[in-house]
Structure 1
Amino acid sequence: MSDCQGKSSWPELVGATGEAAAATIERENPLVNAIVLLDGTPTTRDFRCDRVWVWVNSSGIVLRPPRIT
């Protein structure tokens, strides 16, 4: 993660709605694409500086701090 530019973690967004969190993430670091996913959804395990998974529950609420993955 040290090679990635800009903000890389957003712990303050836990409890926010996924869509609002994604908008905040992309505004604070325009180099990333924030992707809202339902908790438990399978994802790739490769690391990319331009991707942030935003994990939400069935109500669309962020469960854990979004970060570059």
Structure 2
Amino acid sequence: ANVKVRNQSVNQWAKTEQNRNTNANSCKRMREVHKKKDRERERQTHGGTRIVSYNRFDRMRQTSKVK
């Protein structure tokens, strides 16, 4: 009985670990996609300016021309 319980918990752990990894990867991928989309949107709306740094403390957008 003891062995069975241990195996179950290990399987559970492996599952959550796998999920965590896939989530992290998809998160990373989506972040790239969103970055790209944001850049495109910025280019369209502001005529070639794009956010260089987004300071989350004072929410100041510093833009510079896209080369």
TM (normalized to structure 2)?
A: 0.29
Higher helix share: 2
Which structure carries more relative contact order (alpha carbon 8 Å, separation 6+)? 1
Which entry has the higher C-alpha Rg, 1 or 2? 2
